[in-house]
Amino acid sequence: MCGIVAYVGHRQAYPIILKGLKRLEYRGYDSAGIALLNGGLNVYKKRGKVADLENHLADESLNSTIGIGHTRWATHGEPNDINAHPHYSSDEKLAIIHNGIIENYASLKKELEDRGHVFRSQTDSEVFIHFIEDIYNNNDIELEEAVRIALSKVIGAYAIVIMDSSEPDKLIAARKGSPMVFGIGENEFFIASDATPIIEYTNKVVYLNDYEIVVVKGGEFSIKSIENEVMTPYIHELDLKLESIEKGGFDHFMLKEIYEQPRSIADCLRGRLVSSQGHLVLGGLIEHMNKIVNADRIMIVACGTSWHAGLVAEYVIEELTRIPVEVEYASEFRYRNPIIRENDVVIAISQSGETADTLAAIELAKSKGAFIFGVCNVVGSSIARATHAGAYTHAGPEIGVASTKAFTAQVTVLTMMALMIAEKRGTISASTFHAILADLESIPQKVERALKLDGQIKAIAEMVASSNNALYLGRGYNFPVALEGALKLKEISYIHAEGYPAAEMKHGPIALIDEEMPVFVIATHDSGYEKIVSNIQEVKARKGKVIAVVTEGDTLVQSMADYTIQVPDTNEILMPLVSVIPLQLLSYHVAVIRGCNVDQPRNLAKSVTVE
Ligand code: AGP
C-alpha cells in the first residue's frame, strides 16, 4: 500500500503535503513525490524516504496553493525516480497519484501504445493517467467525466487524485478498495489515505466509499457515484489523537497488522487466483515453470517466521508435487558447505528482503549453480533483486517487529506455487486442484471469523500472562504453526516458549509438564486428529493446563482441554493460515498484559541486516 496526500485551498500546499507524507510513511517508503502548480504543472519525485525528497527540493521555488503527493510501496516497477509518483499524462497537463493495483493495466497499456502513447515508467499508475487523458482528449467532456468513464473500465483497487494544469482550483479523487479520507476545512480541502495528514487542519472528514468520486472546484465540492448519482456525504467530526490514527485506531501496529490479514491475504491473491475460472497464475513463476517443475529437489532458506512459512511449504509442496523439499536455516546453510546440484531449486523467503543470512545463503546457492526463487514483501529489496525470479507477497508494510501478516502472505504465495507446480506435473487431480483453489479463495473470510475470537483469547491471555514457560504442540501442517506460535510469544512477552511436534513430547518435553506449564495444542480436524487427542490426554494425565485450538463444533477436545478456541474448518493444507490467528492474538495480549513493548520488543530489530 502507498500513502497519498492532496491539498487545495488558501495556504501553501507544499508544507502541508510534505508533512502529510511523513505521517503516512508507515504505509510505504521506497520513493516519494509531489506535483505542484507553480508556473506550470511540475512533478518532483525521488527514490528514497520523504526526507530525501525534502532535501532534493530545498532550493526549489514551490509556491502553489494546490498539490498532490505520494509515498510509495512499490507493486509494479522497481523503486526508482522514474517509477515514483506522481505520474504525468502524455501532454504533461495532468498528473496522478495512485494507491492500489490496476489488474488489467497490461491490456490497457497495449491499447494505448497502439494509439501512440509512450510510457516513461513501468507502473500501472502511469497507464491509468494516460487512459484518462485518452478518453478526455477524444471526447468533448469534462475531465471528471473522463475519469468516471475510465474508472468503469479498470479492474483492481485504487485511491487516486488527479490534478489538471488548466484548472488550478480543481482536484478529482476516487477510490475503490484502497482507503481515502476527504477533509473539509475553511475554504480548503484535503485528501489523504487516512486522517493523519488532515487532523491538525480540520476534524471534519468524509470517509469516501468504494466507487465514489469527489470533485473539488472553485472552493466547492461534490461527491458522485461511478454511476453519476449525486451522493450526500456523511461528515464525521474526528476526536482521535494523531498517533492513534496512524495505527488505524489500534493500540499497536502489530494488532493492526493482525487485523489486516483478511485484506493482505486478499491482496496476495488479487489478480493471481480466480477459482471460478480455475485461474491461478504467479507471474514470476510462469517463465521459469519448467525449471521448477523438473527440479530434483527444492531447498528453502529463510530465518525466523519466514523459516516457519518455509516449513509449512515443505509439507504442502511435497504433498502436492511429490518433489523432495528441505528447509534450512539460512544461517546454517551458508556455512555448512551444502551439496547443491544444478537441478536443485532454492526458494528464499524474506519479509524485509534484507536479512543478511538469507542474502548470503542465496549468493552461496547461486555460486553453486542453483536456480533461486524469492518470496519477498518489500519490492526492490536486496533479496528480491538477488534472486533469478520471485513473487511478492503484497502484504503492505509490516511495521511491528513480530511478523504476522507477512507470515500468512508467505504461506499463501507458497501454496499457490505448490498448486501451480502440481497441476503442471499432474500430481494432483483437476478436482483436487479446483477444490483447494476454492478453499484458498475463501481464506480471507475464515481469517475474518477467526479474528472475532479476540475477546475470548484476551481472557485466556489473562490466565497465562504470569507463566514463565509455555509449550506449543502441533502435528503435520500445524507443527510449523506450533513453532510460530512459540516464537510470537517469546519474542514479544519474553516468556520462554517452545514449539514441538506433538508426538515428540514423550521423547523429553513431557518431563516439563506440570500444573504451572500452559500447553497450547493445535488440534484441528485433520489426518492426525486422533493422535493429537492422545497427546492432549498425556498432558492432562500430568496435570498440564491445555489450551487447544480446535475446529468449530469440536466437542471431544472440548471435553478434555482446560480451554478451547474454535476456528473455522478448511482444507488441512490451508489450516496454518487460520490456526495461526489465535496464537498471534494470544501473544499480543500476553505481551500487553506484561507491559512489554509490543511493536519494538527488547533486543530485536525488524530486519536483521547483520550476521
Ligand atoms: C519474526 O516475528 C521475527 N521478527 C523474525 O524472526 C523474522 O521473521 C526474521 O528475522 C526473518 O526476517 P525476514 O522475513 O525479513 O527475512
Secondary-structure class of domain 3-243 per CATH: alpha beta
Please state, in angstroms and rounded to a whole number, the distance separating the CA atoms of residues 278 and 266: 17
Please state, in angstroms and rounded to a whole number, the distance separating the CA atoms of residues 355 and 381: 10
Split at pLDDT 50, 70, 90, the class of 259 is very high
In this structure, which residue's CA is closest to atom 7 in ligand 1? Answer: 304
Split at pLDDT 50, 70, 90, the class of 134 is very high
Mean pLDDT on 156-173: 96
The architecture (CATH level 2) of 451-594 comes to 3-Layer(aba) Sandwich (3.40)
Tell me 53's DSSP state. H
Element (H, E) at 302: strand 297-302
What does the pLDDT look like over 473-521, one tens digit per residue?
A: 999 999 999 999 999 999 999 999 999 999 999 999 999 999 989 999 9
Q: Dihedral sign, CA of 510, 516, 520, 521?
A: positive
603 or 349, higher pLDDT: 349
Helix ranges, 494-571 (H): 529-541
Q: Distance from the CA of 170 to the center of ligand 1, in angstroms?
A: 45
Q: Distance from the CA of 492 to the center of ligand 1, in angstroms?
A: 13
Residue 435 has pLDDT above 70, yes or no: yes
C-alpha cell at 174: 476516487
Backbone angles phi, psi at 185, to 5 degrees: -105, -165
Residue 339 has pLDDT above 90, yes or no: yes
Question: How many CB atoms are closer than 10 A to CB 341?
Answer: 11
Tell me 9's DSSP state. S
**What's the whole-model pTM score?**
0.77
Beta bridge partners of 474: 501
Q: Distance from the CA of 305 to the center of ligand 1, in angstroms?
A: 5
**Domain ranges (residues) in the chain:** 3-243, 252-441, 451-594
C-alpha cell at 610: 547483520
In this structure, which residue's CA is closest to atom 3 in ligand 1? Answer: 402
Residue 540 has pLDDT above 70, yes or no: yes
For residues 290-328, one letter each, b for 16 or more C-beta atoms within 10 angstroms of the residue's C-beta and e for the rest, the string is eebbebebbbbbbbbbbbbbbbbbbbbbebbbebebebb
Residues in the chain: 611
Nearest to 413, CA basis, from 294, 269, 291, 287: 269
Q: Dihedral sign, CA of 494, 499, 504, 506?
A: positive
Please state, in angstroms and rounded to a whole number, the distance separating the CA atoms of residues 208 and 211: 9
Please state, in angstroms and rounded to a whole number, the distance separating the CA atoms of residues 485 and 587: 8
Give strand ranges (E) for 38-147: 41-47, 66-72, 87-88, 94-102
Please state, in angstroms and rounded to a whole number, the distance separating the CA atoms of residues 387 and 383: 6
Split at pLDDT 50, 70, 90, the class of 243 is low
What's the pLDDT score for residue 359? 93
For residues 578-596, one letter each, b for 16 or more C-beta atoms within 10 angstroms of the residue's C-beta and e for the rest, the string is bbbbbbbbbbbbbbbeeeb
Beta bridge partners of 8: 66, 189
What's the pLDDT score for residue 514? 92
Question: How many CB atoms are closer than 10 A to CB 244?
Answer: 12
* CB 409, CB 377: distance < 8 Å: yes
Tell me 360's DSSP state. H
Give strand ranges (E) for 147-188: 156-164, 170-176, 181-184
Cis peptide before 179 (omega within 30 of 0): no
CB-side exposure of 595: number of CA atoms within 13 Å?
1
What's the pLDDT score for residue 428? 97
In ligand 1, the atom with minimum distance to the C-alpha of 358 is 16
Ligand 1 neighbourhood includes 352 CB (under 6 angstroms):
yes
User: What type of residue is 60?
Assistant: E
Split at pLDDT 50, 70, 90, the class of 73 is confident
Catalytic position from the list 19, 49, 368, 606:
606
Residue 605 has pLDDT above 80, yes or no: no
Mean pLDDT on 159-164: 97
Non-local (6+) Cβ contacts of 296 within 8 A are 323, 324, 341, 343, 344
Non-local (6+) Cβ contacts of 335 within 8 A are none
Ligand 1 neighbourhood includes 600 CB (under 6 angstroms):
no
Split at pLDDT 50, 70, 90, the class of 248 is confident
Please state, in angstroms and rounded to a whole number, the distance separating the CA atoms of residues 4 and 192: 5
Non-local (6+) Cβ contacts of 326 within 8 A are 297, 298, 299, 300, 314
What's the pLDDT score for residue 242? 64
Ligand 1 neighbourhood includes 350 CB (under 6 angstroms):
yes
Beta bridge partners of 472: 499, 520
Dihedral of CA atoms 582, 588, 590, 594 in degrees, nearest 10, equals: 180
C-alpha cell at 93: 497537463
What does the pLDDT look like over 32-66, one tens digit per residue?
A: 999 999 989 999 999 998 999 999 999 999 999 99
Helix ranges, 300-378 (H): 304-321, 330-333, 356-367
Mean pLDDT on 92-101: 95
Mean pLDDT on 280-309: 95
Ligand 1 neighbourhood includes 32 CB (under 6 angstroms):
no
DSSP string computed for 385-415: HHSSEEEE-------SSS--HHHHHHHHHHH
What's the pLDDT score for residue 77? 81
Non-local (6+) Cβ contacts of 418 within 8 A are 313, 316, 317, 319, 320, 321
* CB 488, CB 589: distance < 8 Å: no
Please check whether the two domains, 252-441 and 451-594, share a CATH topology.
Answer: yes
* CB 329, CB 431: distance < 8 Å: no
Classify the phi-psi angles of 553: left when phi > 0, otherwise alpha if psi is within -120 to 50, otherwise beta. Answer: left
Split at pLDDT 50, 70, 90, the class of 244 is low
Query: Tell me, which fold does domain 252-441 have in CATH?
Result: Rossmann fold (3.40.50)
Question: How many CB atoms are closer than 10 A to CB 368?
Answer: 14
Provide, rounded to the nearest whole percent, the portion of the chain with pLDDT above 70: 98
Ligand 1 neighbourhood includes 601 CB (under 6 angstroms):
no
Q: Dihedral sign, CA of 348, 353, 358, 364?
A: positive
Q: Distance from the CA of 400 to the center of ligand 1, in angstroms?
A: 11
Non-local (6+) Cβ contacts of 239 within 8 A are 203
In ligand 1, the atom with minimum distance to the C-alpha of 607 is 15
SS3 67: strand
Residue 177 has pLDDT above 90, yes or no: no
* CB 606, CB 399: distance < 8 Å: yes
Ligand 1 neighbourhood includes 351 CB (under 6 angstroms):
yes
* CB 517, CB 471: distance < 8 Å: yes
Beta bridge partners of 163: 95, 171
Please state, in angstroms and rounded to a whole number, the distance separating the CA atoms of residues 174 and 182: 10
* CB 352, CB 377: distance < 8 Å: yes
Q: Distance from the CA of 470 to the center of ligand 1, in angstroms?
A: 21
Please state, in angstroms and rounded to a whole number, the distance separating the CA atoms of residues 353 and 332: 18
Non-local (6+) Cβ contacts of 159 within 8 A are 4, 98, 99, 100, 173, 174, 175, 176, 178, 179, 180, 193
Question: How many CB atoms are closer than 10 A to CB 83?
Answer: 25
2 counts as catalytic: yes
Split at pLDDT 50, 70, 90, the class of 240 is low
